Amino acid sequence: MEPKDKKDWRFSLHEIIYESNTRAGKAFDVGLLIAIFTSIIVVMLDSVEHIHRQYGTLFNRIEWVFCALFTIEYILRLVSIRRPVKYVFSLLGIIDLIALLPSYLSIFFIGAQSLLVFRALRLLRVFRIFKLGHFLTEINFLTQALKDSIRKISIFLLTVLTLTIILGSIMYLVEKRENGFSNIPESIYWAIVTITTVGYGDISPVTPMGKFVASIVMLTGYAIIAVPTGIITHDLALAARKKKHKYESCPNCGKEGHDSDALFCKYCGSSLYK
């Protein structure tokens, strides 16, 4: 995005709305975050019955003000970008639209206003504040490590899911219906509650045999929680090493991209530490 005429109002608007390098851009980002946060607080308070009864009308008006503001913001976003379609179908674009719709839907459908809670999704924009501070390196670092871990974590979660299906099914056989394990999906829900060590206690084993099986489930959960931790710790260490050596170049040939434990340049063979 490098327009020739930098005075172009569209470009300036883009700089303010989409970027945060300029003063106006930072102010816009901070202001937007405050607006999002306030509007969510209003939706939250409005959901509390005794507050709703007292301030319901006020909240309704505030809601429409925010709705207007966010609509204007959405239009400005469409106007100031070169390819509006790309924004509309981007993750943030879809979220912005979802956050707007309930207000308008509530005109036609009674109860649609309760969908306003989806405005909470706009909180994801909170991560833009990191662009404002010095958190960028840390967030990049974490994102890198999580990206590296994603496959291993998926395998782990699939294993846990398979385990909960098997253990939940066995528990359905062991405990009878009258003890809360009324069907297999319910038993699988119990197995997830147990293996993740959440343990609500809404369903808990009653028979000695059930308690025995539950003990095994718990100890399994206790032992395997270590696996994702190990994976992420490991990948953080790798990400750290990568970061470190990213810009280190060979003193002889100047090429980059050496392994973290490399002592000699992998291109010309001369020592990296000379």
Q: Which of residues 190-219 bind a copy of itself (CB under 8 A)?
A: 192-202, 204, 208, 211-212, 214-215, 218-219
Min CB(235)–a copy of itself separation in Å: 8
Token pair in block for residue 82: 């070169």
Question: Judged by CB under 8 A, which stretch of 15-23, 25-33, 59-67, 187-195 contacts a copy of itself?
Answer: 187-195
Q: Does 72 bind a copy of itself (CB under 8 A)?
A: no
Task: Return the residue of 36, 100, 145, 250 that touches a copy of itself, per CB under 8 A.
Answer: 145
- The SS3 call for residue 200 is coil
Assess contact for 28 and 14: CB atoms under 8 A: no
Query: How many residues line the site for a copy of itself (CB under 8 A)?
Result: 93
Task: Return the residue of 9, 64, 89, 222 that touches a copy of itself, per CB under 8 A.
Answer: 222
**Contacting residues for 104 by C-beta, under 8 A, at least 6 apart:** 67
Q: Does 183 bind a copy of itself (CB under 8 A)?
A: yes
Q: Does 226 bind a copy of itself (CB under 8 A)?
A: yes
Q: Which of residues 8-27 bind a copy of itself (CB under 8 A)?
A: none
Assess contact for 127 and 20: CB atoms under 8 A: no
H helical segments located in the chain:
9-18, 23-47, 49-80, 84-88, 91-108, 129-132, 136-174, 184-195, 208-224, 226-246
Nearer to a copy of itself, 82 or 211 (CB): 211
Q: Does 107 bind a copy of itself (CB under 8 A)?
A: no
Packing angle, helices 226-246 and 208-224, rounded to 10: 10
Q: Does 230 bind a copy of itself (CB under 8 A)?
A: yes
What are 264's strand-pairing partners?
Answer: 271
Nearer to a copy of itself, 100 or 192 (CB): 192
Task: Return the residue of 10, 54, 233, 246 that touches a copy of itself, per CB under 8 A.
Answer: 233
Q: Does 94 bind a copy of itself (CB under 8 A)?
A: no
CA-to-CA distance for 251 and 205, rounded, in angstroms?
Answer: 66
